[in-house]
Amino acid sequence: ETGVTQSPTHLIKTRGQQVTLRCSSQSGHNTVSWYQQALGQGPQFIFQYYREEENGRGNFPPRFSGLQFPNYSSELNVNALELDDSALYLCASSLQQEGTDTQYFGPGTRLTVL
């Protein structure tokens, strides 16, 4: 069974640029959630995708957007990067079913905005 993978591992961008982060979900999972983890903080929910549609969104501006593909992999896009966007971006996959969907996390992408 393949776990959650993310690419790239590290990324450096400058303010105002755009970035795309990628996530491949765990085998058998149909839902992907994205979180932002600033240094010294817990992860903050950005949004979740299920059946290629946004299933819920946290308190993030519209310049954070995403996609989910038919194979359940996902992208997180951030436009007009700001210095405060520097963080570890975590992707989690799960199998949506009755009750809860336990989320399994990837290793993350470390984004640095200069």
Does residue 27 interact with another protein by CB under 8 A?
no
Candidates 19, 90, 111, 113; binder of another protein (CB under 8 A) is 90
Q: Which stretch binds another protein (CB under 8 A): 12-20, 51-59, 65-73, 75-83?
A: 51-59
Distance, in Å, from the CA atom of 42 to the CA atom of 36, rounded to the nearest integer, reads 8
Single residue of 53, 70, 84, 100 touching another protein by CB under 8 A: 100
- Are 90 and 44 in contact, with CB atoms under 8 Å apart? no
Q: Tell me the site size for another protein, rule CB under 8 A.
A: 27
Q: Are 9 and 89 in contact (CB under 8 A)?
A: no
Could you say whether residue 45 binds another protein (CB under 8 A)? yes
Separation of alpha carbons 55 and 48, rounded Å: 5
